[in-house]
A and B are shown apart, each in its own frame.
Chain A
Amino acid sequence: MTIKVKNGVPVWVRRRWARAAALGTASALALSLAACSTEGNPGDVTINIPLVTGSGAQTALTQIARDFEEENPGIKVNVEFLNNNGGSDIVAARLAAGAVDITQGSTGYANSVVPAEQWVLDGGGTDSQWIQEVRAGQWLDLSDEPFIDRYDQGAIDALRVDGGVYVVPISQQLSSGVFYNVDLFEQAGVEVPTTYSEFVDVVDTLQAAGVLPFAIGGKDVWPASIAVLGPMNALYPTREAQLDLSERLWTGETDFDSPEMVAVMEQVKMIYDNADPNFAGIEYTTAQGQFANGQAAMTLDGTWGAETYLTANPDLNLGYFAYPGSENAEQNAHFGGRLDTAFAIPVNAPHPNEAKKFIEYFSTPDVYEYFIQVSGTIPTQPNVQASEILAAVQPALANPFITAWDWTFNQHAEGTISETGFNYKNLAPMGSLQTPEEAQQATQEEWAAALRLN
């Protein structure tokens, strides 16, 4: 067939309707091509699992995802690891878009996994976003799933909301202890302290010997908050004592700049003063490297860090002791911790059945033990051997631990300076306030202002 041409242009181009039809077809094609996805096998189901978790858990989960895919052809598992800074924002956006099958559930701050206490609600606080979402029916109730029975029922029950199980806790962490370099301690001739005065002596001796006592990653801000947890765990050694303080703070019976609060900040100041003078500009991962390479004798980090230190420096002689915040050695000799990672399935998950299948697979004893061994976290299933990575922490696990302060103090007043009630963010050199009194006064002022606004 030949195309008729006139003056170098095909004749049909000069016909209006033909041009319009051509343009219309071209644009329709272009749009449909753009909308085409590049999925491989049409029969494949992909489940998306965005998580914020430590490096050991990342390695373990990546391998577990691959093994699951092998055993279940037709299901692809996309586990995505997000940064602590801003990861929850990304997950929140994906949840709104209905693109998440499994995630950690609580997308906000740590302590938000249980309903707020009555004194919090009376004082003007609110339930966390997580609790509100659960009550609005946004997360699946997993109480009847078979895999729930594999987990420690105490842990499961502690996390129930209105009787339902919405999170599957898969690992725990201690956060109130102190990691130390056994070799550096020996070289400086110091022993593990059991009381606060001994602790200060150890720090002074290390300084005199030219060893940096603490490594802190102040630039990322949250690592400095861990300096609060040790003193709180020692000075308020039971859950009742911590809940009592929380209630007194919320009802206004105790001010944030009262002597007991300032006393805790004094200890935080001691730690700040004995870290690198520029620690406010050092990132968390750099500070971890500082400790792992023996440039600092101690670091206040949760047990999630153990895997990082041992991977960075396999020759590191790692130790862990309870932060001695009081003068009573017995009172100091326990630990505080929290839930680390948990799985939850949103109600708008594209593939809930495959998601449950994955969690079922994950919960089987062999797979779960592998996860615990490689991630270096504390198990939530009974009769599971903890990892070699946690060898230094093993003695600490002999006794049950309490919930750390940052998971006890439920705070949701808008605009307050510090989530834990302590102004660690603005105490020099993190901020411009020079003394613990000033720091806590600022917290008290802002707390009062926030409550006025409510």
Chain B
Amino acid sequence: MAKNILGYRASPSLGFVPAFAFIGFFALLPAVATFVLSFTDSTGSRGIPVNFIGIDNYLRFFESTGSNRISNALGNTLVFAILTTILINVFAFLIAVLLNRQNKFAVLTRSVVFLPTVLGVAVVGMIWTLFFNPLGGPAQSFLGIFGTQSAFLGDQSIAFGLVIFVNLWMYVGYSVIIYTAGLQAVPADLYEAAEIDGANWAQRTRLITLPMIAPAVTTNVLISIIGSLQSYQLIFVLTGAANPATSVLALELYRIAFGSGGTIPQQGLASAISMVQFVMIGVIAITLFIILRRREEQL
């Protein structure tokens, strides 16, 4: 029997207790509280009586899908998630393959690519807001060479694209690290054998690299999808919460929960929306997970 520091057989289970307590208190309890709140008309103000109103909030959510706001936000969220996931994974994979060498330059470049993730949302938002400043910012000056100009983040038609681009810039490094780890686990003799057999770079990538890093692909795709379906921080910093062109579900939730302009905060309704969002993300994530796992096993 293995010895452990306290000598009790139950010690490993005991060791879990602090971690469970922490997660239970800070994650599980608020989640249950949100679920309960979603059946009330709480406004988040102290002292104002809170009433149970059953599933009214959910009905309201699905009804107001008819109006522009929620359906617009849902649509934007899905487009954002799909585009972000595809783009980040493709770029991260290509960068990881390119930098999969052992020389100092590659190591340095990998760190540089990872740097934006470390900067944090506020700094990244500031950098790109300044970059896209329509009054003489670098992007405007660049366009000026070609004789055109743009409002960038204020232009309804391209604001969303710009936001996706900045999101890609910020998080590609994270995926690169995961892909690099996956790539370095591929045995080098497989590549040597393939070279001897006459495979070129594209064939090697398709037939050896991709199958061998399937777990890394699963991880990255899942993280990207789950993250981008609920991501709003960067969008908030770049374009604010009130811009319909870049409105995503999490941002609408934030606006409704804390009020904006003339509307009273409605935390009951926001809790209901967050429950719906939770179910939506859960379904998408589990479906993807099953599909990707099956692909992994096949390979």
B260 smallest CB distance to A (angstroms): 9
Which of A19, A89, A138, A416 has most B Cβ within 10 Å?
A: A89
The 6 closest A-B pairs by CB, nearest first: A281-B154, A280-B154, A419-B262, A281-B151, A136-B47, A278-B151
Q: A92-B44, A92-B258, A220-B240 are in contact. Are A414 and B263 (CB under 8 A)?
A: yes
B152 nearest CB across to chain A (Å) = 5
Q: How far is the CB of A221 from chain B (nearest CB, A)?
A: 5
Q: Which residues of B (162-186) have their CB < 8 Å from a CB of A?
A: none
The answer for the CA separation of A49 and B66 in the assembled complex, in Å, is 42
For the complex, what is the distance from the CA of A414 to the CA of B266, rounded to whole Å? 9
Contact present for B156 and A431 (CB under 8 Å): yes
Contact of B67 among A19, A219, A446 (CB under 8 A): A446
A170 touches B (CB below 8 Å): no
Q: Is the CB of A429 within 8 A of B48?
A: no
Flag whether A432 is at the interface (Cβ < 8 A): yes
Known: A278-B149, A419-B261, A429-B151. 16 other contacts (CB 8 A): A16-B8, A108-B262, A109-B259, A109-B261, A128-B264, A132-B48, A136-B46, A278-B154, A280-B154, A281-B150, A282-B154, A283-B129, A429-B155, A449-B67, A453-B60, A453-B63
Select the residue from B132, B134, B140, B157 with max chain A CB neighbours within 10 A.
B134
Interface 0/1 of A410-450, CB less than 8 Å to B:
01101110010000011001111000000000100010010
In the complex, which residue of chain B has the Cβ closest to the Cβ of A126? B264
Chain A, 211-241, contact with B by CB distance < 8 Å: what is the 0/1 string?
Answer: 0000000111110000000000000000000
Q: Mark B21-57, 1 if CB is under 8 A from A, else 0.
A: 0000000000000000000000111111100000000
Chain B residues near A92: list those with CB within 8 A: 44-45, 258, 265
Check: A166 CB closer than 8 A to any chain B CB.
Answer: no
Q: Does B240 contact A453, Cβ atoms closer than 8 Å?
A: no
Distance between A105 CB and nearest chain B CB, rounded to angstroms: 13
A19 vs B153: C-alpha distance when bound (angstroms): 60
A41-98: which residues lie under 8 A (CB-CB) from chain B?
A: 85, 88-89, 92, 95-96
Question: Per-residue CB proximity of B212-256 to A under 8 Å, as 1/0?
Answer: 000000000000000000000000000110111100000000000
CB pair A276–B134 under 8 Å, yes or no, is yes
The interface residues of chain A lying within 8 Å CB-to-CB of B262 are 108-109, 111, 411-412, 416, 419
**Pick the contact of B45 from A88, A138, A221, A276 — CB < 8 Å?**
A138
**Cβ of B207 under 8 Å from chain A:** no
In the bound complex, do residue B153 and residue A412 qualify as a contact, i.e. CB atoms below 8 Å apart?
no
What residues on A are CB-neighbors of B265 within 8 Å?
92, 108, 129
Contacts of B259 in A (CB 8 A): 88-89, 108-109, 129
Q: How far is the CA of A431 from the CA of B157 in the complex (A)?
A: 9
Interface contact B244-A431, CB-CB below 8 Å: yes
